Amino acid sequence: MILLILLGVPLFSAVVLAFVGDRKFAPEINILGSAATFGAGIALSLQVYLHGPIIAGGKFFFVDAFSVYLAILTSFVSMTTAMFSRGYMRREREHGRVGKKGMRFYHAMFQLFISAMLLVLLTNNVGVLWIAMELATLSTVLLVSLYRTPTAIEAAWKYFILCGVGIAQALFGTVLLYFAAERVLGAGGEALLWTNLSMVSDKLEPTILSLAFVFLTVGYGTKVGLVPLHNWLPDAHSEGPTPISAVLSGLLLNVALYALVRCKVLVDGATGTHQAGYIMMGFGLLSILVAAFSLLRQKDIKRMFAYSSIEHMGIATFAFGLGGQIATFGALLHMLVHSLTKSSIFFTVGHACQMHDTQEMNKIKGLFRSNPLVGWGLMFGVMAIAGMPPFGVFTSEFLILTATMKDAPFLALLLLIGIGVAFAALFRRVIPMVAGPIPSIAKPLKAAHVPVILHLILVLLLGLYIPKFLAQWFHSAVGLLK
Amino acid sequence: MSIELLAQINKDFAALILLTSFGLLVQRRIYALLLIFAWQGLFLSISTAIVGFVSGMHHLYIAAILTLVLKVIFIPYILHVLIHRLQIYKEVENLTSLPMIMLIGIVLVIFSYHVTAPIRELSTLMTRSTIAIALATVMLGLLMMITRSHAVTQVIGFLAMENGLFFAATSTTYGMPFVVELGVALDILIAAFIFGIFFFHIRNTFDSLDMEEMTKLKEED
């Protein structure tokens, strides 16, 4: 029941918002809908916390520790993003960057996107998971091109085509998975249920599953933004509206990685080797290094943070590939804190861009003085994302590094180089933006306080203390994924 | 008719699907591409119906009808309308190094046979010999998207890939569970609407549907 509410609320809000259109109170309805989704998310997680994993709807839905923490994260960040987008999109509307139709479309698609991502997390059927993943892509394609500028349309087309191609490979992987499953579980919908598959994973044909995993990695890896499949990501992040960049970076990448990790569990069970892990480690490490060095060359602020997202998804992918208790725990925590930090950074970046009417970092200056919340928010956000203590990203990266040093010391060196270069690249760019006098082009702006501060406080708290329920979820997820 | 004969006929249709894939790869006129794509859909639909008859899986009939409606009638019709409305039915693409593309295509087919070898060994279905062709169709669609720069052509490549995937599902497992197949069809339908909208956006912004014009987003140095 609660599952249907959780999925239904954003879907219902999407329909309502499609009718409300460009009316004055549309952003408020958007916030209300997202808040209700978050409420349902809390209720669901309480149920999982008290009674353990849920299987419902004729085994169609399955929620365990791994999916529930991502579901609540998704609903939370979508709520704060809706709060941020209220002021942000109003200003874009006033400046004529978005039209009447654009606003209607934006709000409806935002909610549909959230609903699709939640379906990915809650479904038990690996095939439906693929469908929901594709739906999440399709609902954001036209949001990326919302501004109708040539670059925005180019970015959206790239996103559409590249992710379409990628996700097609994942479908082929799913077909192969079904082929292997059918031989054990018999034909029909039951054979694609993750709970059934994980129970018999050791009986699945290993050659087929390792072949399937290659296709699944290429497919879902494209959506995670793993190098060399990442080409769409910086473009889509830099050309779309900033609230969309925040949810793409903070949520969609996580959800895609979730899909990949779910499949990895099955493949590991079948092959009994570490082969799938090595593939993920390779892709992860490559992403970290390429993204870190690309960070150095960026001039566009949103593009830079898009590369930072690639780097962090690389770290999480690498850690899941490495496996073991500590690394997996670190990866789970990393997905959580990266999502919170990166979306808060995009909130402040969005404000900064609106104040200066540009995304070029050279022209953004003096944020501390012109708007202390934006300036300090960006500063703390970057400190957190670069991995400085006492923020949560430090904790997760530290855990991952420790595990790497124990299992693969040489790779720890590469990992450290990646993190170090990213650290330097980010600070080299951010210090000039926040410090110094106020430039003449800067315009005053009323920033959204709540989302930025809330996210940063949560990241700080997670660096200092991990609450009991979260630790319990992480431990049971680790037990599942190990 | 005996099962063996039907299996033979099914293989013939698989060969025709492969042939249309190569046709898509080298055809330069937009409108002709659309016709080839519709033919491919038709072959796919008939092949699915045959597999459904032989295997006794009746949900494959529905899948065949779905393919017929969606990929032979609906999407080609939408593209037809769009091509007329955008007045590009006479457009011809520049395609250099055709022999090279053909050669790469052939290599991809051989590669597909190699990759799917373990599946053919394990499978007991009468369609097991067409699995490689299904993967080859996916790969050729991918190649087409890489080598072409026209928006409409890229979309046809994308849809041809989807055809290949559908064919793969039919030949490896007699089709995916029905929920999944329905969902995939829904996704394709939504995608069709999106690229329809896109064509107009691209046309209005760039005055052309040639993606070669889109080169603004690059890494700056």
What are the extents of the domains in chain A?
A: 330-482
Provide the shortest C-alpha distance from residue A244 to chain B (in Å). Answer: 18
Instruction: Please count the residue pairs, one from chain A and one from chain B, whose beta carbons lie less than 8 angstroms apart.
Output: 133
Provide the shortest C-alpha distance from residue B43 to chain A (in Å). Answer: 20
A182 and B201 in contact by Cβ < 8 A? no
B216 and A207 in contact by Cβ < 8 A? no
A130 and B180 in contact by Cβ < 8 A? yes
Q: Does A90 touch chain B (CB under 8 A)?
A: no
B196 domain residue, yes or no: yes
A165 and B158 in contact by Cβ < 8 A? yes
- Which chain B residues have a beta carbon less than 8 Å from that of A219? none
Provide the shortest C-alpha distance from residue A166 to chain B (in Å). Answer: 10
Which pLDDT band holds residue B218 (cuts at 50, 70, 90)?
Answer: low
B220 and A168 in contact by Cβ < 8 A? no
Q: Does B154 touch chain A (CB under 8 A)?
A: yes
Q: Does A184 touch chain B (CB under 8 A)?
A: no
| ipTM above 0.90 for this complex | yes
Contacts made by residues A366-373, CB under 8 angstroms, sequence distance 24+: A366/A434, A366/A435, A366/A436, A366/A437, A366/A438, A366/A439, A366/A442, A367/A433, A367/A434, A368/A434, A368/A435, A369/A437, A369/A438, A370/A438, A370/A442, A370/A444, A371/A444, A371/A445, A371/A447, A373/A348, A373/A447, A373/A449, A373/A452, A373/A453
- Which chain B residues have a beta carbon less than 8 Å from that of A151? 216-217
B27 domain residue, yes or no: yes
Q: Is the pLDDT of residue B102 over 70?
A: yes
Q: Does B218 touch chain A (CB under 8 A)?
A: no
Which pLDDT band holds residue B213 (cuts at 50, 70, 90)?
Answer: low
Which of B135, B154, B221 comes nearest A161 by C-beta? B154
Question: How many folded domains does chain B comprise?
Answer: 1
Tell me which residue range forms the domain holding B8: 3-93+112-208
Helix (H), strand (E), coil (C) string for chain A:
CHHHHHHHHHHHHHHHHHHHCCCCCHHHHHHHHHHHHHHHHHHHHHHHHHHCCEEECCCCEEECHHHHHHHHHHHHHHHHHHHHHHHHHHHHHHCCCCCHHHHHHHHHHHHHHHHHHHHHHHECEHHHHHHHHHHHHHHHHHHHCCCCCHHHHHHHHHHHHHHHHHHHHHHHHHHHHHHHHHHHHCCCHHHHEHHHHHHCHHHCCHHHHHHHHHHHHHHHHHHHCCCCCCCHHHHHHHHCCHHHHHHHHHHHHHHHHHHHHHHHHHHHHHHCCCHHHHHHHHHHHHHHHHHHHHHCCCCEHHHHHHHHHHHHHHHHHHHHHHCCHHHHHHHHHHHHHHHHHHHHHHHHHHHHHHHHCCCEHHHCCCHHHHCHHHHHHHHHHHHHHCCCCCCHHHHHHHHHHHHHHHHCHHHHHHHHHHHHHHHHHHHHHHHHHHCCCCCCCCCCCCCCHHHHHHHHHHHHHHHHCCCHHHHHHHHHHHHHHC
Q: Does B201 touch chain A (CB under 8 A)?
A: yes
B201 domain residue, yes or no: yes
C-beta of residue B34 within 8 angstroms of C-beta of residue B88: no
> In 3D, which of A447, A446, A436, A424 has the Cα closest to residue A363?
A436
Mean pLDDT of B192-199: 87
Three-class DSSP category at B153: helix
Q: Is the pLDDT of residue B221 over 50?
A: no
- For the ranges A284-293, B26-35, B88-97, which has the lowest average pLDDT? B88-97
Q: Closest-CA residue in chain A for B143? A: A165
B107 domain residue, yes or no: no
Q: What is the DSSP letter of B50?
A: H
Q: Does B111 touch chain A (CB under 8 A)?
A: no
Q: Does B207 touch chain A (CB under 8 A)?
A: no
Q: What is the per-residue pLDDT for B97?
A: 83
Name residues 23-52 of chain B within 8 A of A (Cβ). none
B180 and A127 in contact by Cβ < 8 A? yes
Q: What is the per-residue pLDDT for A475?
A: 93
B217 domain residue, yes or no: no
How many CB atoms neighbour CB B192 within 10 A?
A: 17
B201 and A183 in contact by Cβ < 8 A? no
Which of B118, B180, B220 comes nearest A208 by C-beta? B118
* Segment-wise mean pLDDT, segments of 10 residues, chain A, 482 residues: 90 92 88 95 93 88 93 96 93 88 92 95 94 92 89 91 90 92 82 90 90 94 92 92 94 95 92 91 96 92 95 96 92 96 95 90 89 93 92 95 93 94 93 88 83 94 92 91 76
B161 and A168 in contact by Cβ < 8 A? yes
Name residues 249-308 of chain A within 8 A of B (Cβ). 294, 297-300
Q: Closest-CA residue in chain A for B210? A: A154
Q: Which of B128, B217, B220, B221 to mutate to test the interface with A (most CBs of A within 10 A)?
A: B217
Q: Does B216 touch chain A (CB under 8 A)?
A: yes
Provide the shortest C-alpha distance from residue A433 to chain B (in Å). Answer: 20
Provide the shortest C-alpha distance from residue B107 to chain A (in Å). Answer: 19
Q: What is the per-residue pLDDT for B119?
A: 86
- Which chain A residues have a beta carbon less than 8 Å from that of B161? 165, 168
B136 domain residue, yes or no: yes
> In 3D, which of A463, A430, A445 has the Cα closest to residue A340?
A463
- Which chain A residues have a beta carbon less than 8 Å from that of B203? none
CA distance A20 to A31: 14
CA distance A161 to B145: 9
Q: Does B193 touch chain A (CB under 8 A)?
A: no
